Amino acid sequence: MRIKEYRDKLHLSQKALGAKLGLTSVSILKYEKGISEPSIGTLKRMSEIFGVSVDTIIENDTQFLDLRMLDDKIKSLVELVLHLNPTNADKVIGYINGLQDKK
């Protein structure tokens, strides 16, 4: 999700955004770190604050990828990568990109 990106654009702290949403700064931190997900209602309120659509906030978020559309091997790979920390996920992506270059 792109919550931190849009929060930073408005120069809002996690505490300030949380106050606007009736949430704690810890909730905002969890959303930004991917530990938990905001409700649809919270996403709608964020979209109003940020001046962007809900789709824009969740854009490029693989957690919203419909895994039913993928074959079993790809599904397994996506699920494994989703559980990695960002550093290790980047390493996996780099490795896959390296394999593509060797074709």
pLDDT exceeds 80 at position 101: no
The closest of 48, 43, 79 to 58, measured between CA atoms, is 43
From residue 98, alpha-carbon distances to 4, 11, 80, 82, 93 in Å are 30, 38, 19, 20, 9
Name the DSSP letter for residue 17. H
Q: List, for residues 31-49, the tens digit of each pLDDT value.
A: 998 888 999 999 999 999 9
Instruction: Supply the pTM of this predicted model.
Output: 0.58
Domains and CATH numbers, the chain: 3-61 (1.10.260.40), 65-101 (no CATH)
pLDDT number for residue 59 = 77
Q: List, for residues 72-94, the tens digit of each pLDDT value.
A: 788 788 778 878 887 888 888 88
Alpha helices in 1-103 (DSSP H): 3-9, 14-21, 25-33, 40-50, 54-58, 72-82, 86-101
